Amino acid sequence: MPIYEYQCESCSHALEALQKLSDAPLVDCPACGKPSLKKQISAAGFRLSGGGWYETDFKSGKKKNLAGEAGSSGSSSTPASA
């Protein structure tokens, strides 16, 4: 699900909103209440949810659980929070 950036043309309040692609753009500013929010052009942001998606992709050989292997170097057992 993409994260969109908005800025109010009336009060210059800036915010980020987690929205579906099919959702209508936000219009009302939460700070001043005026219908003057405009979507900003920015680098795409998104949130990954679910457990272990990185463990199931790009496996090599007989490795089954890359993140959970004890003594392996270069892999982390806890994912970084976004």
Domain boundary assignment for the chain? 2-43
CB distance 41 to 4 below 8 Å: no
Asked if the 2-43 domain carries CATH number 2.20.28, the reply is: yes
Q: What is the pLDDT of residue 17?
A: 93
Report the C-alpha gap between 5 and 10 in whole angstroms.
16
Cα-atom radius of gyration of the chain, to the nearest Å? 20
Report the C-alpha gap between 79 and 65 in whole angstroms.
14
Q: What is the pLDDT of residue 10?
A: 95
3-state secondary structure of 30: coil
- Taking only the tens of pLDDT, the chain with its 82 residues reads 788 999 999 999 999 999 998 999 999 999 999 999 999 988 766 777 666 666 555 566 666 655 555 555 554 555 555 4
Report the C-alpha gap between 45 and 50 in whole angstroms.
17
Q: What is the pLDDT of residue 70?
A: 54
